[in-house]
Amino acid sequence: MGPIEDRFEMELITNDGTLYATHYLAVRQSNSPNSPVLMLPVCRDLYRRGFSPDLPWPKEDDPHETSTSDEPEVPIRIRFLEAPVLKLSLPVYSISVPHLMSFPLVLLFGLGLELDIEYLPYRLLPSTVIAEFPAAPAMAEIFAEFPEQDFERYHMYLAGFRQNVLFLGLKNQRIMEITTTAWSVAAQARLIRQRHQKVLNLVLPRR
């Protein structure tokens, strides 16, 4: 994999006056030398509000908008996916995180881009498990009954999400509470599965 450039360029899909990104994060998974790189736009001010400690951001400069149109520059308003296309060139900061696949979800909620925090549990655990909230024992019992492949997929993703929020120092207490509860349920569900497996090993005859 080649070196990451100091700046990166992406197309804008809206120009509605909302807060622009100030940087791109070039994100790799820390325990995987061959990890792909995710290029994610972030607003430095939102990151500082959502996470601590702050990152050593590259030199600050104004975003560079580049139009792909050959027409003279005039004030324009573009709607979603409408031409002319604008591109935003921003400085890049490289970061390694414990779990790459859950990192975009951490940013979505940690930066406050998703306003409904109570939607987070449905991204971490199956809906049938969340339906038993706040009865954690019932949640664990239902989760423990999931097929092994599905259980491990959810468990691995949740573990990675939890590692990321701890590593990045996420500030939102409600998100931390949800993460802690979900992880507690998952850990209890794994213990239930292990107990069930021990019983099966005792009951079923060996071949």
pLDDT of residue 203: 65
> What pTM value is reported for the model?
0.80
| Mean pLDDT, residues 82-92 taken together | 74
Asked if residue 206 has pLDDT above 80, the reply is: no
pLDDT value for 166:
96
Decide the pairing of beta strands 86-97 and 23-29: parallel
> What is the Cα–Cα distance from 86 to 68, expressed in whole angstroms?
6
Provide the phi-psi class of 173: left if phi over 0, else alpha when psi is between -120 and 50, else beta. Answer: alpha
Give pLDDT tens digits for 116-160. 999 999 999 999 999 998 889 999 999 999 999 999 999 999 999
Model pLDDT for residues 27-78, shown as the tens digit of each residue: 999 988 788 999 998 989 999 999 998 888 876 554 444 444 444 333 333 3
d(Cα 197, Cα 158) in Å, to the nearest integer?
22
Q: What is the mean pLDDT of residues 172-193?
A: 96
Mean pLDDT of the chain: 83
The kind and range of the H/E element at 190 are helix 173-203
